[in-house]
Amino acid sequence: MYKSNDLILRTTTSIIVFILLGFSIYLLLAGHNSPGGGFIGGLITASAIMLLYISYGSETIEKILPINYRLLVPIGLLLALGTGIGSFFFSVPFLSHTYGYFHIPFFGELELATAMLFDTGVYITVLGVTLTIILSISKDQ
């Protein structure tokens, strides 16, 4: 039986995927002060995972990434909504965000904002939605 040899595709993918994943995390974290944010970060992570699916096939990837992407959607929504609801406990209007300066070992003085948590929620939701759409279309019944 003919078996396609996609050595070049697989080798290049294993390098490029890490660059893409790193870049998507950078975009997620950089969103506050430069272009980027949860939406574009989620899309790029999804495209990295899609690249893995394309070059290695769905059985392999489902073995190494056993994630139910459909479940990521409510998790992300819950996180984003949770940052809004959190403001109830401090008697401030809904969706009020706050920030503070923290000293973290190795990174030093950092400004951490609760808007970051909201963005992470967006990131997870976008990742879940994109992969659910693509994978449910690709699996023909």
Which residues contact another protein by CB under 8 A? Answer: 71, 73-74, 77-78, 81, 84-85, 87-88, 91-97
Residue type, 123: Y
- Cα–Cα dist 115/95, whole Å: 9
Closest approach of Cβ 21 to another protein, in Å? 26
Closest approach of Cβ 23 to another protein, in Å? 29
Closest approach of Cβ 81 to another protein, in Å? 6
> Which CB sits closer to another protein, 42 or 50?
42
> Which CB sits closer to another protein, 47 or 114?
114
Beta strands in the chain (DSSP E): 99-104, 108-113
> Which CB sits closer to another protein, 95 or 134?
95
> Which CB sits closer to another protein, 33 or 91?
91
Phi, psi angle pair for 88, to nearest 5°:
-65, -35
- Cα–Cα dist 66/63, whole Å: 6
- Cα–Cα dist 66/128, whole Å: 13
Burial of 121 from C-beta contacts in 10 A (0-12 / 13-18 / 19+): buried
Closest approach of Cβ 125 to another protein, in Å? 10
